[in-house]
Structure 1
Amino acid sequence: MVLFATVFWGVSGTAAQVLFQQDHVSPYWLVTVRMSVSGFLLLLLALSRFGFGSVFSVWKNRQDVVRLVLLGFFGLLGVQYTYFASIQYGNAATSTLLQYVGPIFITLYVAFRNRRMPRVRELTAIAFALFGVFLLVTNGNTRHFEVAPLAVVWGLLSALTVAFYTLYPQTLLKRYDPAILIGWGMLLGGLGLGLGENPFRMPIHTTPLLWLLVSFVVIFGTLIAFYMYISSLNHISASVASLLACGEPLSAAVIAVTLLHVRMGLPSLLGAVCILITVTLLAHKERVTESPPKIATPR
């Protein structure tokens, strides 16, 4: 289930790249549609599973409402928009790999919160991450960026928002099911973004392929992928799921190189390996006991 979820996420990013760079779809519009529709469908599934009272119980506590709104706008909306903006200026493979630097921000925050220096394993992971990002964006050439600077900036902001939305909702997760939180958060973020971008305003040139790609991003790349990932945590630990989630950047890279002819030199591929090593080091069981549980990134 984890591998299917991560492949769907990876293919979703590649589908978004086609929509942005070939069909000239706005990331603003795609994020609005994706979050609104996915949030609504997630809440419908949550209603069928938990009932009306459980799904709407979060609105009975004022503090939880504030936390939910912050999660929706700064967490879920933040990670969606920054990720897709990075793809618009770069490519799905690079943007997905940059987003996987997020655990580094989590590690630094946990060390700061506990008033301690990062451990050797964590410092090693940070070194791999920094070196991996350097190789990824320069392809080993220090004179110029292989990737557009805006793609790098948005990608690193995406990693930062991943850290925020992973750390922030821990209080809410103790009282509410993740499907309920993600459903409401995505619906709120989508509706809020819709105030500036009418989701019913169609792209200038619509084709059957365009709607097929949008449908894949919404249904498979968000709804089904999220439920598969969450369901897998009933059978395996979060650390194992995090390791298997490396299938996302791998699938995004394979599809981008083979189908979209994205060029990745040997130094860039080595940088990708360094970032995946980072995830492997930080997903070790010794760290899981200290860091908060991971929830799925609905990309």
Structure 2
Amino acid sequence: MLSKGSIFIVLAAFFWGVSGGIAGILLDDGWDASVVTFYRGAVGLLFAILWLLLQRKHSGLRNKQLWFWSVIAGLGVAGNFTFYFISIDHGNVAVAATLMYCAPIFVYLISFALKLERSTVGKWVAIALVMLGITMLTKLYEIGTSELPLFGVGAGLLAGLSYAIFIFGFKYAAPHGSPQAILSIAFAVLTIVLLVPTDINQAISVLSTPDIPLFLALGIFGAGLSFLLYILGINHTSAALASMIAMVEPITATLFGVVILSEQLGVVQMVGMALILATVTKLSVSSSK
């Protein structure tokens, strides 16, 4: 049986994948990536603040550790969103996604260095299998070296490192306050940081567009609800394991494309998907024993 923490993180990754599909629709509709990202964080912030106002007891807002780690988490999310889109802009989605999902490697290396995790052959094999599955799922093997510019590769790796930073931020903030307080601080930081590169005129025009339900859904599923589940989950599991379980996200995004956008899924991609699911499930079940 999967542990409670693992189930919460799987659900969070599922909603992240759905939000990726929604973001893809908005980008295809001509919305700037910075505007889409900004609204994802802004709607998530409104979600968190409303929840905080409804449940203010035991928020931990007077705790300095809560503020410190929540700010770190917010900066990590902002860096992840920003560098991910930069990597896409200077390469393509497959490369950017594969590089970003190097995050478990960063998390495990940090965990090994801080002696939060014991380095074993099994864990390295699991990392290798997940990375192989993601490479197959994103069809990275079809991309020539000319389509891998150094700047795009660097941005993709920084997106993965930022991913690792927000994992540790949420992990260490969780014991010091309520999920809604952590999200409120993290998304406030995220929204302020993302306001700088955002096209203000286009951002204002969102308020009068027929696409506004999609922007709301993006913020609720891609920020508010998903990160709530993530905080609840990471409070019951290790940062390293959480980073591996969250690899369910690209599977969800791929299935969204197949079901909603009528995209095709090849045999190699299905094998990659199965490889990720099998490895993540094995790790999750083993950790709950």
| TM-score, structure 1 normalization | 0.71
Deviations 1:130-169 (A, max 9, x none): 433443455655x727987687765544332222111244
Q: Match of 1:13?
A: 20
Deviations 1:175-231 (A, max 9, x none): 222321122111122123213435564377998552221111012332233345556
Segments of 5+ residues of structure 2 without an aligned counterpart are 1-6
Change in Cα spacing, 1:183 to 1:205, as seen in structure 2 (3 Å) is: closer
SS of residue matched to 2:144: coil
Q: Match of 1:72?
A: 74
SS of residue matched to 1:114: coil
Q: Match of 2:44?
A: 38
63-72 vs 203-212, greater mean Cα deviation: 203-212
2:232 is aligned with 1:226: no
Confirm or deny: 8 A CA contact 1:42 1:180 kept in the other structure. Answer: yes
Change in Cα spacing, 1:209 to 1:217, as seen in structure 2 (3 Å) is: same
SS of residue matched to 1:193: helix
Confirm or deny: 8 A CA contact 1:38 1:218 kept in the other structure. Answer: yes
Segments of 5+ residues of structure 1 without an aligned counterpart are 290-299
Letter in 2 for 1:265: G
Confirm or deny: 8 A CA contact 1:27 1:85 kept in the other structure. Answer: no
Identity %: 26
Confirm or deny: 8 A CA contact 1:32 1:191 kept in the other structure. Answer: no
Q: Within 5 Å, which residues of 2 pair with 1:118-267?
A: 118-138=119-139, 140-141=141-142, 144=144, 155-197=156-198, 199=200, 201-202=202-203, 208-228=209-229, 230=231, 238=237, 248-267=249-268
Confirm or deny: 8 A CA contact 1:136 1:272 kept in the other structure. Answer: yes
Q: Match of 1:57?
A: 62
2:111 is aligned with 1:110: yes
Change in Cα spacing, 1:177 to 1:33, as seen in structure 2 (3 Å) is: same
How many positions carry a matched residue from both structures? 278
CA distance in 2, matches of 1:269, 1:205: 36
Change in Cα spacing, 1:199 to 1:32, as seen in structure 2 (3 Å) is: farther
Deviation at 1:126, TM superposition (A): 2.4
SS of residue matched to 2:258: helix
| TM-score, structure 2 normalization | 0.73
Change in Cα spacing, 1:19 to 1:232, as seen in structure 2 (3 Å) is: same
CA distance in 1, matches of 2:265, 2:61: 47
204-213 vs 248-257, greater mean Cα deviation: 204-213
SS of residue matched to 1:50: coil
Q: Match of 1:81?
A: 82
Confirm or deny: 8 A CA contact 2:34 2:199 kept in the other structure. Answer: no
Deviations 1:30-72 (A, max 9, x none): 2222212312330221132124x836424xx3x7645443332
CA distance in 2, matches of 1:262, 1:97: 19
CA distance in 2, matches of 1:175, 1:132: 36
CA distance in 2, matches of 1:131, 1:170: 27
Change in Cα spacing, 1:184 to 1:168, as seen in structure 2 (3 Å) is: closer
CA distance in 1, matches of 2:117, 2:223: 37
CA distance in 2, matches of 1:227, 1:16: 20
SS of residue matched to 2:177: coil
Confirm or deny: 8 A CA contact 2:12 2:225 kept in the other structure. Answer: yes
Quick check: which one's helix share is greater?
A: 2
Change in Cα spacing, 1:220 to 1:129, as seen in structure 2 (3 Å) is: closer
Q: Match of 2:35?
A: 29
